[in-house]
Amino acid sequence: MRVLLVEDERRIAEDISATLKAAGYAVEVVGDGEEAWFRGGTETYDAVILDLGLPKLDGLTLLKRWRGEGHRFPVLVLTARGAWTERVEGINAGADDYLPKPFEMDELLARLRAVIRRSAGQAAPVLVSGPLSLDTRQMRLTLRGVPVALSPLEYRLIAYLMHHAGRVVPSTELAEHLYDIGNDRDTNAIEVTVARLRRKLGADLIETRRGFGYVVPAATG
């Protein structure tokens, strides 16, 4: 899963970025509203974490622009502002959730997982696809109840497929959501990662639709 973090306070941005990477996300950090507006319009993200107090272009104006341009990625708003009227303004501008500063990182992760699940049409924190079960809170994949050890890239790939279970996902879409902007998005690397996953999970759990992409069985729970 790929996340854009828009935060101009360097220390906070570094702390959040480290937390997100440890939780399995590919993270990109920008520190002003104009750069964030450009990234949101030209790159693909599973979610955006957005601070409202930004230089060059404030967070609310940025959010309204994105929504006005039709960008539907979920947005979790961060702000030090405590007034309920500003929280309402953020939601009305198109935010999917709102987290006032200061906050605990565990709560940030929980809210981020929730907005990503909701945007993919998933409600429960545990995703089920055939014999596979993915606990998004613990980053834990099990196969028929047995834990499966995964690399960070393998985790992001199977997590993305399970969030979109039942839908054929093209390799190009996977590459856009698994790597940050600093990495070469080689679809051949996707094939290699899928092959490694099949060795761990069984060849039939990730189906190839030749010429279209990959699919896991529709979620059953």
pLDDT digit string, tens, across residues 34-53: 999 999 999 889 999 999 88
Question: Residues 136, 81: one domain?
Answer: no
- Is residue 220, in this structure, part of any structural domain at all? no
pLDDT score of 95 more than 70: yes
- Is residue 221, in this structure, part of any structural domain at all? no
* pTM metric for this prediction: 0.78
Question: Residues 69, 148: one domain?
Answer: no
Question: Residues 26, 51: one domain?
Answer: yes
Which of 19-28, 46-55, 123-132, 172-181 shows the lowest mean pLDDT across its residues? 172-181
pLDDT for 8 equals 93
Which of 55, 82, 218 minimizes the C-alpha distance to 90? Answer: 82
Q: What is the CATH number of the domain that holds 190?
A: 1.10.10.10
Q: What is the CATH number of the domain that holds 39?
A: 3.40.50.2300
- Alpha helix segments (H runs only) across the chain: 10-22, 33-42, 59-68, 84-92, 105-119, 152-163, 171-178, 187-201
Question: What is the residue range of 199's domain?
Answer: 126-215
Confidence of residue 221 (pLDDT cuts 50, 70, 90): very low
Rounded Cα–Cα distance for residues 2 and 159 (Å) = 11
Confidence of residue 101 (pLDDT cuts 50, 70, 90): confident
Question: Residues 115, 132: one domain?
Answer: no
The amino acid that residue 192 corresponds to is V
Give the count of domains, the chain.
Answer: 2
